[in-house]
Structure 1
């Protein structure tokens, strides 16, 4: 067990810090040892760069694949030696103490991982879970047309979730690598938004019952309004981190439409995600671009600071 963690001591910098040994678990608690952790690119960069007023030192991240080391006397959900995914906030760290009876459900986001899944890729279950939470929040279903704008990790996750839930999915980005991955993962229509024919292609595929903002582009809502891309009774899913945003009330009023948001995920979302991963409908491996020992984390965060588009799926290995 590595008794270390990752923190941001000041703006734009990351370092490893020492943790004490884990305590003995209480009656409803488990102690877990980290095998892999996944980087939450958007959330962690916002924290690293103090986009929303971070105070330093700061810790961020909520994706861990761990093995259960010890269980409390009243725990019957998990056994020592079982591999689990943890979605609790608190940053990357070598061990966790989880109270399975915590009143706040976000403090007990723990689900077992079957042996037929590749556990290192389950380190991105959190981001994939956000995709399912958002798709379910905006009620994606067959035979809807869904447009996902932006193909970072969160956009790729929403696109896969929406397709799994029965929608016809159009995706847009300007990064060739991201577009190629989306096509590989089964998006029905893949549009390079920088292409001269992008507006025509988007219009041909619309109007869309659901539009997911996974890019945060300042003019996206104006673009939707100008080109009449939202369908009657449609919904725009505001998922990307944003500064204050202006939209046309006329667009919503005339179409009886809505703008909706969501945050994080639930145990139910994780169970649905696990099901679709076991079926092979949702795949995470193609999203992983970096798999490195946790000791190399400071260099990864330097890339996140300076060249964030270089990173897509990042997994830290805590076993080396």
Structure 2
């Protein structure tokens, strides 16, 4: 999270998006009660406790979780929310043709969200395990760029109304231009964090296209996801590869450093 100066420098105590039980509520608290199970998305680093004060629930990104959904899975609710916010930002709508590069947890959140809004969704990732998860989640087309027919597969149903980059791979913008992947008045969504970014001005001028960037998620985004989870349209469970005690954090970060393709969604359990 410290890439490109985003989120601070090294070393950093990163970690946010938690599911927890309300242990105590002040007399003037109206939104929450003791015993409520809540999602808490405010950035505070890894920590076994939180105090919510002098903030509205909206600012703190805190909401009560309904009983109809798996509460443990909701530890990745915010990650999925980043994808949802971006899909809403690029204005995905029913029957659109959408392409998503990158199927990490945020990319899977974006592809699921686009599908939930009625789009036909194609996704690209170099890690076959991630494409397998996308297939399990019902994504329509899954493409591995290591295949010799990669470009032909991309062009087969082009142009795309929305193209979302959730990978940050530097050649993507130029690949979109060279291969004529963007539709007239189409949108390129730069979801992944990038450094300095350049593009060929003519690729947007002729098509009247645009770039969009989004940041984080809101309570409204989370409530939309919860609605789709309750109705079975979106899932988080297939995105989770590791559920471990917090005492295993060092091992998980070692995998992230040495073999990051083995990880997708990771949930730390503070109770064990």
Match of 2:108 in 1: 156
Is the 1:236–1:258 contact (alpha carbons within 8 Å) kept by the matching residues of 2?
Answer: yes
Q: Secondary structure at the match of 1:240?
A: coil
Is the 1:169–1:187 contact (alpha carbons within 8 Å) kept by the matching residues of 2?
Answer: yes
Is the 2:90–2:162 contact (alpha carbons within 8 Å) kept by the matching residues of 1?
Answer: yes
- 1:238-271 Cα shifts (integer Å, max 9, x gaps): 0111121221110111111101100110010011
Write out aligned runs for 1:25-174 (5 A). 46-47=1-2, 51-52=4-5, 54-99=8-53, 102=55, 105-106=58-59, 108-174=60-126
TM-score calculated relative to the size of structure 1: 0.82
Is it true that 1:278 corresponds to 2:227 in the alignment? Answer: no
Match of 1:208 in 2: 160
User: Unmatched 5+ residue regions in structure 1?
Assistant: 1-45
User: For residues 249 and 313 of structure 1, what CA distance do their matches in structure 2 show?
Assistant: 37
Is the 2:48–2:270 contact (alpha carbons within 8 Å) kept by the matching residues of 1?
Answer: yes
Is it true that 1:266 corresponds to 2:266 in the alignment? Answer: no
User: For residues 237 and 104 of structure 1, what CA distance do their matches in structure 2 show?
Assistant: 28
Q: Secondary structure at the match of 1:237?
A: strand
Q: Secondary structure at the match of 1:231?
A: strand
Is the 1:138–1:237 contact (alpha carbons within 8 Å) kept by the matching residues of 2?
Answer: yes
User: For residues 134 and 230 of structure 2, what CA distance do their matches in structure 1 show?
Assistant: 19
Is the 1:170–1:205 contact (alpha carbons within 8 Å) kept by the matching residues of 2?
Answer: no
User: For residues 95 and 83 of structure 2, what CA distance do their matches in structure 1 show?
Assistant: 18
User: For residues 234 and 161 of structure 1, what CA distance do their matches in structure 2 show?
Assistant: 18
User: For residues 4 and 160 of structure 2, what CA distance do their matches in structure 1 show?
Assistant: 31
Match of 1:185 in 2: 137
Is it true that 1:302 corresponds to 2:220 in the alignment? Answer: no
TM-score calculated relative to the size of structure 2: 0.96
Q: Secondary structure at the match of 1:96?
A: coil
Q: Secondary structure at the match of 2:51?
A: strand
Q: Secondary structure at the match of 1:70?
A: coil
- 1:74-112 Cα shifts (integer Å, max 9, x gaps): 11111100101011011121011112x526943x21111
User: For residues 55 and 39 of structure 2, what CA distance do their matches in structure 1 show?
Assistant: 17
What is the aligned-residue RMSD (CA, Å)?
1.5
Match of 1:33 in 2: none
User: For residues 57 and 150 of structure 1, what CA distance do their matches in structure 2 show?
Assistant: 26
Deviation at 1:56, TM superposition (A): 4.8
Is the 2:17–2:42 contact (alpha carbons within 8 Å) kept by the matching residues of 1?
Answer: yes
Is the 2:4–2:194 contact (alpha carbons within 8 Å) kept by the matching residues of 1?
Answer: no
90-99 vs 50-59, which deviates more? 50-59
Q: Secondary structure at the match of 2:206?
A: helix
More strand by share: 1
User: Unmatched 5+ residue regions in structure 2?
Assistant: none
User: For residues 312 and 191 of structure 1, what CA distance do their matches in structure 2 show?
Assistant: 18
Match of 1:16 in 2: none
- Label 1:105 to 1:76 Cα distance change in 2 as closer, same or farther (>3 A): closer
User: For residues 55 and 285 of structure 1, what CA distance do their matches in structure 2 show?
Assistant: 31
Match of 2:148 in 1: 196
User: For residues 119 and 64 of structure 2, what CA distance do their matches in structure 1 show?
Assistant: 28
Deviation at 1:52, TM superposition (A): 2.2
